[in-house]
Structure 1
Amino acid sequence: MTSTESIRGIIYKDQPCWIPSHMNYGKLAIDRMLRAKDKVALIDGKTGQQITFVELVQLVVNAASSLIRLGVKRDEVVAVCSENRTEFLITTIATWCSGATVTFLNPAYSKNELEHTISISKPKYVFLSPETHNKFYSTIVRIKIVEKFFIFGDSVNDATISKFNDLIKTYVNIDNFKPVSDPVNGLAQTALILYSSGTTGLPKGAKLTHLNLITTTNQPSHITKDLVFLSNAPWSNTFGIMSTMDELVHNRTIVYLTRFNIEQYLSYIQKYRVGVLLAVPPLVVALTKSPIIQNYDVSSVEFIYSGGAPLDLGVINEVKQRFKGLKHVLQGYGMTEVTGTLTEETDTESKPGSVGKIAIGNIVKIADIETGKALGPKQEGEVRVKGATLFGGYIGKNLKDELDDEGYFKTGDICYYDEDGYFFFVDRIKELIKYKAGQVAPSELEAILLQHPGVKDAGVIGKPDPMVGELPTAFVVKMPGSTVTDKELVDFVADKVSSWKKLRGGVYFVEDIPKTPSGKILRRLLRDYLKKPVSKL
């Protein structure tokens, strides 16, 4: 292999990482952004409001100086609870510069999830948008953990809440600004608390260090050409914030959405001549199914970069038919615990169906599930990882409890790699369906179901059976106007799979497939569906 090395089944990218002596990711981010000066950094797709890189840095420096002056200290937690808006990123980068730790409270949380995450990270300061203020303010106050609130915009008039605009109005000379007088210990200090996807229960708080974040800046941009990026991924989740920060430090212009509407999405592609779509899999699937694409000029789109969950080759081929100028659909595979990206495709290194090669900063082995022994090419096993991107552990838990005997983090994912170093995702260990002696990957059956013209979305789980273990069972969202039947879909899948993979548990029609913001199916909720009367599905 050329750029990827493999020794006795251990795979890594043989390339040094550049780490600045100050070890502050916020400082590194503003230094990188200043290279682009008057180039547009962010465009609010809805309002059309634009901000250049130098303007963005100026506001970050103003906000960071205000936070330091207000007494925000190292290791104190600052939470941002907001939909995507420019103030979100200003606050985030400014917090890093101040030496404090930032976390995100997802505006899509239920009140129970909000209370759970606040109890984990215990933020001293919270920044709210007008929308999240209306939704969550009284709940957060009742928890009695937060000491001070800030509000974005001017629509909320409450003397007990400080205005974000007051933090950024005091001008500070960029050249004279120095992040935190006390140097950051980037090896150990937590810069960002993100939450695991919660596919198996309530999320856990994962601690990412400055070193973790700085290492990701050594990973090359997915696209070498200077194109406009469009993203609707919430910045409150790992894919959203890491993909956005990656493009900003590589000086790309990003058009962002506050919330998703497919007609608006397509209109932004046309209006801003977008060249790259940063898209989670449900969005890519929606683009393959939507009949209105033909009403918009999407010829500017050259690349789609998808992460959060794997895309099937059938979906990739279908979306290429919709976007005539599309050169590549690139995929990446990662998780919060490795600071976003573990493997990735780029416009210079890609292979159909793969999730790319190892990203800089990761050391990976594919391990036999039973013995932990490292496996060779084309052998399926658990992904285990260590390296400079590996997180600092979950809040309240010892990281060593998550590692194997050789110090590798056990991800619970099943993958294999080929002789060229490209990785292929199979499924989660806990999500594999065990039918008699065979194992069934739900993602394989979901990909087949999505090929049917009457299927808008699908999710597959195992239905417990005392005789055979589990029966592959599908939940399906029909396309509008479709008359497809459950038997038709059972037969459709049966023609394309081995006998043990047939949908012996049947097909249930539902209104939607529950998913995380990054596109992972919440199979535990699908299992709950099985406990309901058939008439309630």
Structure 2
Amino acid sequence: MFAEQIKNGVIYGDQNFFVPPHLNFGAFVLEKILEHKDRVALINGATDKQITYQEMVQKIVNIASALTDIGVKIGDVVAIASENRLEYYITSTAVYCCGGISTFFNNAYTKNELIHAVNISQPKYIFVSGEVFKNQYDTLKSFNGIQKFILYDDEPKSRNCLHYRDLSERYVDINTYKPVDFKGKNGICMILYTSGTTGLAKGAKLTHLSLIAACQQPSSVTRDLTPLSVAPWSSTMGQICTIQDIVNGTKLVFLPKYNERLYIKTIEKYKIGLLAMAPPLVVMLCKSTIVNEYDISSVEVLYVGGAPTNPKTIRQVRTRFPHIKHFLQGYGITEATGAVCREMEIGAKEGSVGQVVPGIIIKVVDPETNKLVGVSEPGEVRISGPVIFDGYIGKDKKEDFDEEGFYKTGDIAYYDKDGFFYIVDRIKEIIKYKAWQVPPSELEGLLLQHPAVKDAGVTGAPDLLAGELPTAFIVKQPDVRVTEQEIVSYITEKVAPWKRLRGGVIFVDEIPKTPSGKILRRKLRQLLSKQRPQKLPASKL
């Protein structure tokens, strides 16, 4: 009952968790997956290659032992730069077992984004796929701090390169292998990257305790359904949801990257019962012209997160796919090690993102006065509990946590009399393109480097398919000619695909600002509603 969860205006999720005395997340994962034995763990839907939990355990201890032998020590950062693949979670779990910290670089990072991420986490060792080795090795090897590269694919080795195959095929007895015992002392386990309003990505520090707690949260779905994962495992949604599935012994089908026909074909082939996705993929399913070529009647549950879902889209799903029994939504952030609120299969409310999950404590406050607000009153969501992260690398925690130790999410929401939460808006100015985070100030900084640009402001144009489209407002230098396409192409060459100016460019006489010089994005959005830029052809974006 909700009345039992709320105390003095603060809402508590279940805080009862098993905390192993060794407090090593890798050892916790090993203990869990050993229970699943010969059950299939992961299937690559693009290649049909698969691995069982028993095989995973053996490779994890082999890799962990090898990492220790090559010099990985407690607190060393080990990076994975790769598309989704069978070796991904074997690697990260092995890193935790030997006391290291895992971090993940998106294989679509540009050179500048990769440099920024490496500078944040300072990895000493890095696992790379063939794609990343081909495109980014020259950049990565320029960092003196990286001592060894471990190659997933059969790329030619250089002096400081090893092959994953050589490390994974050595034999270590799983019955005698002992992960590092932290003896109850919590520490940093994982670094994920999250963008803020101040510019480039920040490194969020997740602890062994936060991950152990997050992996004990109950599943939203009570039945044994096969899920399909396509979210990059370098992202919070992809990383945390997948490790939760692994701990629970789920048979998970994944794809290295999204392709519409392959995605739909994989649903039919493996009789996928649960799809976890961002809202743009939901829209794709509704609008797909090829979905009728395949039998996807096995899908019973859609679990949607990463951005709000338009109610119109939910109705379209139910009309076109009547076999889908449950459309569930959630609200999560990196800083909460995944979910903050989540709808369950039983008792969901349309439009809600569900109730507070175990491991989370929420208070909703007036962001101006910091006073608690009550039922149905919008306010800023602030969170605490064992799943909360340990701050950002190189940043004072006082900037992001209030005096009571609650993380200030910057999100505006309210809860009803039954404890169901509804997201209203974001204080933060992040643009959400297909659930990817796009910090406006990063794009503004790049735009201001263009010789033809005098001033710039960026905001998101609402879009049913993508959520928001990054859109630039430009003040040109006097007597300078520059076209919209030139500006769009300039940004395209410098950023990852999800940060491109897909909303186009609007030329204006001035950027609206406060007296102190802050951009008034509210007024930019008002300008958008009056003068929506013409979209460029997709081939040029």
**TM-score, normalization by structure 1:** 0.82
Secondary structure at the counterpart of residue 196 of structure 1: strand
Change in 2 beyond 3 A, CA 1:395/1:510: same
Q: Deviations 1:368-406 (Å, cap 9, x if unpaired)?
A: 011011111111111111111111111111212211122
* Post-superposition CA distance 1:403-459 (Å, at most 9, x none): 1122211111111111111111112114499xxxxxxxx99x94xx63xxxx77654
Q: CA contact under 8 A between 2:197 and 2:429: conserved in structure 1?
A: no
**Match of residue 452 from structure 2:** none
Q: Distance in 2 between matches of 1:380 and 1:179?
A: 46
C-alpha distance after superposition, 1:154-204 (max 9, x if no partner)? 243445410011111111222212102x526552x1100001135652000
Q: Distance in 2 between matches of 1:349 and 1:423?
A: 13
* Counterparts of 2:390 and 2:526, CA distance in 1: 39
Are residues 22 and 511 of structure 1, via their aligned partners in 2, closer, same or farther at CA, if it must alter by over 3 Å?
Answer: farther
| Residue number in structure 1 paired with 2:269 | 271
Structure 2 equivalent of residue 150 of structure 1: 150
Contact 1:151 1:163 in 2 (8 A): yes
- Deviation for aligned residue 1:503: 6.4
What is the distance in 1 between the residues matched to 2:195 and 2:327?
Answer: 24
2:331 and 2:353 in contact (8 A); partners too: yes
Measure the CA separation in 1 of the matches of 2:371 and 2:472. Answer: 28
Distance in 2, Cα, partners of 1:198 & 1:84: 25
Q: Distance in 1 between matches of 2:341 and 2:472?
A: 28
Q: Which amino acid aligns with 2:422?
A: F
Tell me the residue number matched to 2:194: 196
Matched to 1:362, the amino acid is: I
Q: Structure 2 matches for 1:289-328, cutoff 5 A?
A: 289-328=287-326
In the alignment, is residue 376 of structure 1 matched against residue 374 of structure 2? Answer: yes
Gap runs ≥5 in structure 2: 432-458, 475-500, 505-524
Number of paired residues? 468
**Bigger mean CA deviation after superposition, 307-316 or 150-159:** 150-159
Work out the percentage of aligned pairs sharing the same amino acid: 45
Q: Distance in 1 between matches of 2:91 and 2:224?
A: 27
Taking the aligned partners of 1:389 and 1:502, their CA distance within structure 2 comes to 40
Q: 1:431 to 1:73 in 2, by over 3 A?
A: closer
**Secondary structure of the corresponding residue to residue 89 of structure 1:** helix
Q: Distance between the aligned counterparts of 1:144 and 1:218, measured in 2? A: 39
Distance 1:13 1:392, change over 3 A: same
Name the structure 1 match of 2:92: 92
Map of 2:514 onto structure 1: none
Q: Give the distance between the partners of 1:460 and 1:161, measured in 2 at CA.
A: 39
Structure 1 equivalent of residue 253 of structure 2? 255
Instruction: Evaluate the alpha carbon distance shift between residue 186 and residue 360 of structure 1 in structure 2; reply closer, same or farther with a 3 A threshold.
Output: farther
Give the aligned CA root-mean-square deviation in angstroms.
Answer: 2.7
For the residues of structure 2 that align with 1:124 and 1:184, how far apart are their CA atoms? 25
What is residue 399 of structure 1 aligned with on the other side?
Answer: 397
Decide whether aligned partners of structure 1 residues 156 and 322 sit closer, same or farther in structure 2, where only a CA change above 3 A counts: farther
Cα deviation, residue 22, structure 1: 1.2
The CA distance in 2 between the partners of 1:3 and 1:156, in whole Å, is 62
Counterpart-to-counterpart distance in 1, 2:189 and 2:36: 25
Secondary structure of 2:408 counterpart: strand
The one-letter amino acid of 2:305's match is G
Aligned-partner Cα distance in 1 for 2:527–2:420: 29
Paired with 1:396 and 1:122, the residues of 2 have a C-alpha distance of: 12
Matched, 1:346 2:344: yes
Which amino acid in 2 is paired with 1:163? H
Match of 1:505 among 530, 534, 537: 530
Report the residue type matching 1:138 in the other structure.
D
Deviations 1:275-316 (A, max 9, x none): 011112221122122121111100000111112111122111
**CA–CA separation in structure 1 for the residues paired with 2:255 and 2:33:** 21
Q: How does 1:440-455 map to 2 (within 5 A)?
A: 446=462, 450=464
**Contact (CA 8 Å) 2:307, 2:467: kept in 1 or not?**
no
Structure 1 residue 153: deviation in Å? 2.3
Mapped contact 2:197–2:428 kept (Cα < 8 A): no
**Contact residue 280 and residue 466 of structure 2 kept, 8 A:** no
Query: Aligned partner of 2:254: which letter?
Result: Y
Q: Equivalents in 1 of 2:184, 2:113: separation in Å?
A: 31
Residue of structure 1 in register with 2:70 after alignment: 70
Q: Which has the larger displacement, 228-237 or 301-310? A: 301-310
Please tell me the residue identity of whatever aligns with 2:20: P
Distance 1:67 1:502, change over 3 A: closer
Correspondence for 1:102: 102
TM superposition score normalised by structure 2: 0.81
Pick closer, same or farther for the CA change 1:230–1:4 going to 2, 3 Å: farther
Alignment counterpart, residue 211 of structure 2, candidates 192, 210, 213: 213
Give the structure 1 partner of residue 112 of structure 2: 112
